[in-house]
Amino acid sequence: MDKFPHVNTDVLIIKDEQVLLGMPSEKWLQGKEKLYGLPGDDIRFQETIEAAVMRNLQDLFDAKLTSMTILGVHENFAFGNHYIGIGCLAAVNGALNLDKPSEDWEKWMWVSLDSLPKNLFEPVKATIEKYHKYKQKVY
């Protein structure tokens, strides 16, 4: 059987120098440690990147996307998969419903960019690194 990479979004939402991080459910346990993740999802066939981000934010938080910037692309080989991740910076309209039930996420929290936890999923690290370069206008 041929295997091909999948394409997904990793969505960075920043508010007051804090980033929205999620604690995944048990089904996404990597090794013995849970790794904080970002909102994001696979891009569906014939779906634009922006439409994928809009759909995911609506599904997870009942939020409306107001603007989006692509920060960069990274690879992810976790769980025996091969993903091409598109790191995006998203702005939303209104408050996010962080308590909306999800089978993939236990909880969401705002974390200062200056005191990020050590147990970050690799795509989170890559997306945040691209965000810092974007802020400094270093490409």
The pLDDT of residue 1 is 55
pLDDT at 136: 87
Average pLDDT over residues 94-118: 94
Show Cβ contacts of residue 42 under 8 Å, excluding neighbours closer than 6 positions.
6, 7, 8, 52
Residue 30 confidence class, pLDDT cut points 50, 70, 90: low
- 70-100 pLDDT, tens digit per residue, is 999 999 988 788 999 999 999 999 899 999 9
Which helix (H) or strand (E) segment holds residue 67: the answer is strand 64-76
Is the pLDDT score of 31 beyond 90?
no
Q: Of 37, 40, 11, whose CA–CA distance to 24 is shortest?
A: 37
Report, as an integer, the average pLDDT of 120-125.
Answer: 95
Residue 139 pLDDT greater than 70, yes or no: no
What percentage of residues in the chain have a pLDDT greater than 70? 95
Give the contacts of 134 (CB within 8 A, at least 6 positions apart): 69, 71, 89
